[in-house]
């Protein structure tokens, strides 16, 4: 996935009108957005196609899919039917559940991102212990896209070493969570930024300022 300015907007707002207003302001600098449950639950999966049609964005659905294989397959199928270009799934559920997501992504000719480790402090308690094994599982399964934290560069570096230079890593946690975008891009292919942009008084200016710091 080729991402403009190596920057993804995490669009975790709660209404279509706010989403459109923000997207309109940053469309010259960003071509990929990440939609999670907040916007999808508030406005329905139809919001994916609306934003794609209006702005031409690539849309990654951050649903952190983490159920049994049969349920994962249904979740991914509906998400891709709605127009998503990629979906994020958890790896801790094991290879059978992840394979269901991968199979559906391949069927729709879309992309799957495997979440190895999350960016918030609580991830250190349970998820971090198995993150390396999750990354290795992904490699063994032929997965090429990963999510790894910008908030812990040592862990991001470890995951990069496991998945290799040819893998594509996107990293959340830059901005409000304390991650440094430029340092993150030493290991990651793109950073994910949400509140620092969409909560700003002027999202366009916030976006442009951030991009300057990445160079």
The model's confidence at residue 137, banded by pLDDT at 50, 70 and 90, is very high
Q: How far apart are CA 87 and CA 1, in angstroms?
A: 12
User: With 90 as the cut, is the pLDDT of residue 1 above it?
Assistant: no
**If pLDDT is split at 50, 70 and 90, which confidence band does 135 have?**
very high
**Crossing angle of helices 127-140 and 153-163, rounded to 10°:** 20
CA atoms within 13 A on the CB side of 165: 1
Enter the pTM of the model. Answer: 0.97
CA 56 to CA 41: how far, in whole Å?
22
- How far apart, in whole angstroms, are the C-alpha atoms of residue 95 and residue 203? 39
Catalytic residue among 64, 74, 124, 183: 64
Annotation says 64 is catalytic: yes
* pLDDT at residue 6 greater than cutoff 90: yes
Q: Where are the beta strands (DSSP E) in the chain?
A: 7-10, 32-36, 58-65, 86-90, 111-115, 145-147, 168-172, 190-193
58 neighbors 88 (Cβ within 8 angstroms): no
Say if CB 150 and CB 181 are below 8 A apart.
yes
What are the structural domains of the chain? 4-213 (3.20.20.70)
What pLDDT, on the 0 to 100 scale, is given for residue 13? 97
pLDDT tens digits, residue range 83-123? 999 999 999 999 999 999 999 999 999 999 999 999 999 99
Q: How does residue 175 score in pLDDT terms, banded at 50, 70 and 90?
A: confident
Return the axis-axis angle of helices 16-26 and 203-213, rounded to nearest 10°: 50
The pLDDT of residue 76 is above 90: yes
Q: What is the pLDDT of residues 181-213, one digit of tens each?
A: 999 999 999 999 999 999 999 999 999 999 999
């Amino acid at each position: 996935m080729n991402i403009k300015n190596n920057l993804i907007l995490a669009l975790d707002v709660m209404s279509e009108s706010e989403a459109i207003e923000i997207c309109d302001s940053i469309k010259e600098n960003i071509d990929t957005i990440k939609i999670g449950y907040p916007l999808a639950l508030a406005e329905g999966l139809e919001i994916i196609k609306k934003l794609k049609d209006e702005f031409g964005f690539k849309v990654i659905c951050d649903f952190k899919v983490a159920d049994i294989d049969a349920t994962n397959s249904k979740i991914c199928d509906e998400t891709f039917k709605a127009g998503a270009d990629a979906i994020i799934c958890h790896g801790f559920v094991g290879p059978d559940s992840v394979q269901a997501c991968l199979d559906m992504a391949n069927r729709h000719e879309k992309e799957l991102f495997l979440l190895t480790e999350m960016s918030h402090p609580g991830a250190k308690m349970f998820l971090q212990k198995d993150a390396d094994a999750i990354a290795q599982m992904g490699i063994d399964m032929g997965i090429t896209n990963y999510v790894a934290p910008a908030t812990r560069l040592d862990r991001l570096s470890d995951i990069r070493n496991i998945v290799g230079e040819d893998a594509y890593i996107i990293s959340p946690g830059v901005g409000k969570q304390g991650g440094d975008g430029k340092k993150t891009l030493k290991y990651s292919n793109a950073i994910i930024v949400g509140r620092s942009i969409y909560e700003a008084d002027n999202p366009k200016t916030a976006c442009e300022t951030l991009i300057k710091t990445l160079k």
